[in-house]
Structure 1
């Protein structure tokens, strides 16, 4: 049987593109076995298993660019993950197997073990600036695909401009998920304000929203992806004009479509999908993101769509009300040509290996 092994995790930004491609592959109705290598406790361990034929958990550690005692411990975790990956991959035929990585530190042992065991290995980089995990993986990959054309200059030899695998529902006006617990998008009588700090939530964004929540609820129905670690606190604010959610898997695109105002981090997936929807938004890039990648993602959206970009430092002296007003008066530039939908391209590249 032909086998497609996906790996990637640590955040929704690495997992969602993998799941998007998996769904596209399933639509082809070909007899593939789809396997996923992920961490034991990361976000992928909760949302991926039901979407694939087999989920394999491995040990994972984080590679840091700075000195830390945690690096010593994580070297052993990464080593264990490499051994686990190697043993598991031996049972899959090199001829009939392809490995596709969407990044995150859990993917590195799988990519290296894949190369050692003779598998074809593909890596996809979602952001404008390549993360450290994918940088390491790129040396073991047959091909590296990038979402932004400008990223090609950071990779030598084996890089290809694929675009980002945008979910197909970004290209129509239909709402697939209309109801989120007690809030029905088709019947709300105020405009929707959707907030997300990413799949794991953002303490900074959550705290700023809490400060002005009563004011926001006077004007909007607020749906707020807070992250699982913050859910208990923010659920206590739930009422007819506010809903706190830990993680939105099904229906994120519907919230993007319906929202009059969107406030978000600037992960590559969120940025690309909002640009595909021609939706200008407020982005607060994660300051500690590698190579300031989220800032560069957000600036691409500002250039193409007229989105508002506010750094974490700038947020200290800016009110959310001011940012909303800035969004309303910003020039609506529409959807530009700088973002390429890579879903069909990536599906075809994977299938071509197995023909």
Structure 2
């Protein structure tokens, strides 16, 4: 009733949720929490505003199927098929486009007015080459962003999570606050930051508090590296909009009547969080942020580009590098990633590594071209 008539894809997803909750298989029951009532409401809201028949695509993101252990993944995929949801429904991203026209950003079939930012220095500006796979992801991010959800991007190191987040905010013209977590991060460092001013050490509001005050987008990087008790303080902020700072101030959606406003920080309506985390397990060995708090976010898996997309991407990074060389590199790295999935090598080699190789080759080709340009006149004489 909350979101009107229930479409058939949502019916199947609800049916799947009840099957998982009542399953005798403990493995399936353990992951049923990813299809909680809150998550189902989020899916229903997206389907109401952005109708789709790609139920399998939604489940891919909801369960992070790509990152599940093999036995769990097989059991879940079998259950999904039994419900009547097939992988063939996954969207293709061949003809998706991104354009800005009349101050309106359009990615695929989704459009939104560009934000009028006051602090342009905090809007990211990066080198980014569009490929269909990334544009398809950003279209989904755009839809969730319009619905007011906080975002979680999960993937291996080097697959482009930071670049995608920065490019997304650049397109929206949204100011960004950035914080990187690590194993020594504490609750205090998450909410305050020491700064030297006029020779004195003072404690200022952290990027988290500034983003809440001014309506910026907070990008939390390496979220899986911080202790769980630190990241879990985000739970009350994301879930209910409430948070108590070390100095006694309270973050709240509204300042209660009759209370001292200096003791409160009102959450700006434009405030959003984008969390970046590595996939759980070896070799990153971080905390399972998705397992602990993924239910509070609209979660998305970020993978290496497909073979053709990666070739197109590398051509743009290395226009002088022979296509034959690029194809060989893509083939080699594809084999390495397959071996990593099979447990034969320890590190899942990412797009970042092959991009760095191509950039190095591009510089080498540029040097050779310059040398030939300089020596040709000499050879003529």
Whether these two folds match at TM > 0.5 is no
Which structure has the highest helix share of the two?
2
Larger Rg: 2
Q: Under a length normalisation based on structure 2, what TM-score does the superposition of the two structures give?
A: 0.26
Q: Report the TM-score, using the length of structure 1 for normalisation.
A: 0.27
